[in-house]
Structure 1
Amino acid sequence: MMRMISKRFFLVAGLSAMASAGLARAPERSLRPQSRPAGGAVPPKTPSAAALIARAELGGDVGFAVADARTGLVLESGNARLGLPPASVTKAVTALYALESLGAGHRFYTELRVAGPIRDGVLQGDVILKGGGDPTLDTDRLAEFVRALKAAGLREVKGRLIVDGTALPSLNEIDSDQPEHVGYNPAISGIALNFNRVHFEWTRANGVWNVMMDGRSERYRPEVRFAKMQIANRDAPVFTYGRKGQEDHWSVSAQALGKGGSRWLPVRQPELYAGDVLRALARAEGLRLPAPEKGVAAGGAPVLLRLESADLRSICKDFLKYSNNMMTEMVGLAATTARSGRPVSLKASAGEMSRWARVSLGMGASRFVDHSGLGEASRATAEDMTKALVAARPVIAPLLKPVAMRDAKGRVIKAHPMRVHAKTGTLNFVSALAGYAEAPDGTVMSFAIFAADRGRRARLKRSEREAPPGARSWNRRAKGLQQALIERWGALYGA
């Protein structure tokens, strides 16, 4: 499968002479559009790209490029060779990297092993939960392991409960510059549960706080013991985190809670979280399991049950749709592990993807520091991204979600003549959009738009990065610019 996808990149759409010729020397200034004949004439008041950018008042830098998706011919560009943070647009590159490295039909797994005989309902050995890099495992599926243990006649374990996440490297978080409490920046390892997030819920009655930490899914809400929450009488910070042995310890400002609510918090010890939830599910069924330990599965232990994920193509489509950082990082790390034969650091894995993108997609000026785009040090150019989209269109286009065009009040314009499928990307004062726009006459354009006010972003404190002042309005103007540019291209290059 790896060879088949590579061949498709090179022979069907990727780096063909036609696409390369069109994008090799993309101009840094907008090309003069060609007028259309009567019946399809260019509207006389179509604003220039420069005017649209000035009207958005974003500050910082904007880079963009648009090309004919079939031929690779550049239609218009501006600052197209300027490297800017691609944010979650990086996920599109990761999807292509993983699909070639692992194959579209690849499935990840999680296994339950038993090391020892079961006598009179007692296991004279260890229970082993081994992760195989599945980013989609949730509590509902974890419960299937408990049913398997029960079906085997198990009531008690004399040995240990070992959770093995060594299939992938262990990361405390994806990006150290993010606030420590945001659920989109969890730990990474070879096992994940509920996207490595724990659910924190609180209520207050008669002056007393009731707090619950659980690993909930659609059917189950098992309370966890490894994650603790303390209500603190302070104004700031809102959250603090500390690791104490086998436990994650959180505290939260009482003044920030109101009367009640809930949110997801990141898990920093994925193995212990998965083991803790498995133990809670087993306890509810009358099975006694020991406290989980992080370890390595012993060779030769028989597999009691093996659960597999959906195929990789479906997983890629999901993380592109929902922009899930943890899923993307696990898939990208798995791709590098398959290529190198061993787990490597996130930095090394992102470097390998950067080299692959340079060779396979022609992205010579782009560099990535992770697979999800969460790290702001990644750089991509609009020229590179547009080139990649031309090259990989048969593979990536079906995986991108539709992006609605909206009116001035944010309402979807259902009959808008432009159809857009793309990947969005958002960081504070960073906005990106890259994908395909189809004009009314059927012309399909590949495009990339990157905008960033890096100076304003650099002045943010870590504690401000979840919702800094001005970020929401800036992002709204950036999205307005993206739509205005797409509408301009539709007017100029599509009937």
Structure 2
Amino acid sequence: MPLGRAPVHALSRRLGGLALAAAAAAGAAASAATGLPPEVAHALQRARVPADAVSVVVQEAGSGAPVLQLNAREAVNPASLTKLLTTFAAFDLLGPAWTWRTGVWLDGSVRDGVLDGALVIRASGDPTLTIERVWLLLERVRQLGVREIRGDIVTDRSAFAEPQGTPADFDGEWLRPYNVQPDALLLNYKAVTYRFVPDAARGVARVAAEPALDGLAVDPEVPLADGPCGDWRAALKASLDDPQRARFAGSFAAGCGERAWPVAYADPASYNARLLRALWRAGGGRLGGGVRDGAAPARAPTFEFESPPLAAVVREINKHSNNVMAQQLFLTLAVQPGQPATPAAARDVLMRWAADRFGEPEGVFRLDNGSGLSRETRLTAQSLARLLQIAWSSAVMSELMSSLPASGLDGTLKRSRTAPGRAHLKTGSLRDVAAVAGYVLGASGRRYVLVCVVQHPNAGAARPAIDALVDWVLGDAARRD
């Protein structure tokens, strides 16, 4: 052994021990100063997030006394925790069994399989009209004996006002599916999923678009490359801003296996027409006219196409933090006969409901939209905790709690390392925000309301601190009498 090596190692160990001791002392001091559990304070220090950037409320469900509280009255951006407000209000105002109804008219006579007139579809904001469900709607038309429509397919989208902004307004990422704007007739989220399937024998990856929109050509294959998967989307060198053609000038790594890439369609205004034409013709139908907007007849529809119940939709919204569905629900709350729903009207409905239901004070509560995809919305952790307490004692408690991601099991908490199924928490993430809110089952069997919002440039690095807080609450019930 070279001379001096052992002393250097010994010195390193001593210095490392001193550093750990110093960190522990600093963490203990931070814990004592803030009241946060030591493991949470340590994790915040490692993330370089000060305690004044964290808002926390922990209460036993059904009790107003806080177990832990920090910066609870500070107005913060709740990110996707806003969906708790939107979905609980929808349950409260509409009921968990409520459904959207899309009216369909055969506006003309039907003879020998020919509709001598128009097929009219009046939208109501249904967020569940995926490819499969649109196919079923058109199958209902075929079951009525229609094989050819000599007139147009007319879509009445008047339930919602036309959006004033663009999909790029929030973050400039206009091809991201989460930025798709609301539409009374929202078909398949106005998105296209490109699928890439390696064909090693031919040295290519086959490319397919789902759905196959009318008038959209797609490069049928892309060269297959060796090596690890890596950033496979960048390697494709995709050009997806042309509504007529999707191009892939790069390559696809064989190590990726089969992959799917959902993208918001480049021309959302033409999406419904392209999809309806494609699906009608794919089912063997003929269309003499085009697809255009118009008004539905005043008489009762030929049939109504009903959505799944609201409870199922809310589950999808909260489990997977679906922004587009949340926006559809948000606007639905403001729908009035003969009056298109607007974001301003929906904000008024939700803010009045919040003031009546849990006394949210003006000046602290600022609402931008129903999804939380916003830099302007402000709530307090105390208000979110109060909302969860009111929901706990409400008739829709079971529906709301079961809609939240379950730790380690599903939704946005599927990869959580917290005890499986013991926490039901809505998550929230923005560039400078990391948050959770919901219910945690302690070891003693007590259920707790937990709200934690980190608002700081290093918020993403504070996720371990949030996990440590959840773990502390899981064990806290066992330490309290």
**Which residue matches 1:144?**
136
Matched, 1:109 2:105: no
- The answer to whether the 8 A contact 1:66-1:445 is kept is yes
**Which residue matches 1:424?**
427
1:413–1:147 CA distance, 2 compared to 1 (3 A): closer
Residues 54-113 of structure 1: CA distance to partner in whole angstroms, max 9, x if unpaired? 233346922211122211112222222222221211111100121222222211022321
TM-score (normalizing by structure 2) = 0.75
TM superposition shift of 1:362: 2.9
**Helix, strand or coil at the partner of 1:125:** strand
**Helix, strand or coil at the partner of 1:336:** coil
Residues 125-174 of structure 1: CA distance to partner in whole angstroms, max 9, x if unpaired? 11112222111122222223333333333232221111222222333538
**Helix, strand or coil at the partner of 2:335:** helix
Q: Which runs of 5+ in 1 are unaligned?
A: 1-28, 34-45, 216-222, 457-473
Matched, 1:163 2:162: no
Alignment of 1:13-162 (within 5 A): 47=38, 49-58=40-49, 61-162=53-154
**Which residue matches 1:404?**
408
Q: Distance in 2 between matches of 1:382 and 1:290?
A: 57
Say what the alpha-carbon RMSD is for the aligned residues: 3.6
Q: Distance in 2 between matches of 1:65 and 1:287?
A: 58
Matched, 1:479 2:463: yes
Aligned partner (choices 209, 232, 237) of residue 213 of structure 1: 209
Letter in 2 for 1:137: L
1:47–1:145 CA distance, 2 compared to 1 (3 A): closer
**Helix, strand or coil at the partner of 1:402:** coil
**Which residue matches 2:377?**
378
Aligned partner (choices 299, 303, 306) of residue 305 of structure 1: 303
Matched, 1:387 2:386: yes
**Which residue matches 1:321?**
319
Stretches of 4+ aligned residues off by more than 6 angstroms? 29-33, 203-210, 235-241
1:305–1:280 CA distance, 2 compared to 1 (3 A): farther
Letter in 2 for 1:126: A
- The answer to whether the 8 A contact 2:179-2:324 is kept is yes
**Which residue matches 1:224?**
213
- The answer to whether the 8 A contact 1:107-1:308 is kept is yes
**Which residue matches 2:262?**
264
TM superposition shift of 1:258: 5.8
Q: Which runs of 5+ in 2 are unaligned?
A: 1-31, 223-233, 410-414
Letter in 2 for 1:390: Q
Identify the range of structure 1 (69-78 vs 266-275) with the bigger mean alpha-carbon deviation: 266-275
Alignment identity in percent? 26
TM superposition shift of 1:209: 9.1
- The answer to whether the 8 A contact 1:200-1:212 is kept is yes
Number of residues paired by the alignment?
Answer: 418
1:440–1:207 CA distance, 2 compared to 1 (3 A): closer
1:151–1:453 CA distance, 2 compared to 1 (3 A): same
Q: Distance in 1 between matches of 2:353 and 2:370?
A: 13
**Which residue matches 1:359?**
356
TM superposition shift of 1:385: 0.9
Identify the range of structure 1 (325-334 vs 96-105) with the bigger mean alpha-carbon deviation: 96-105
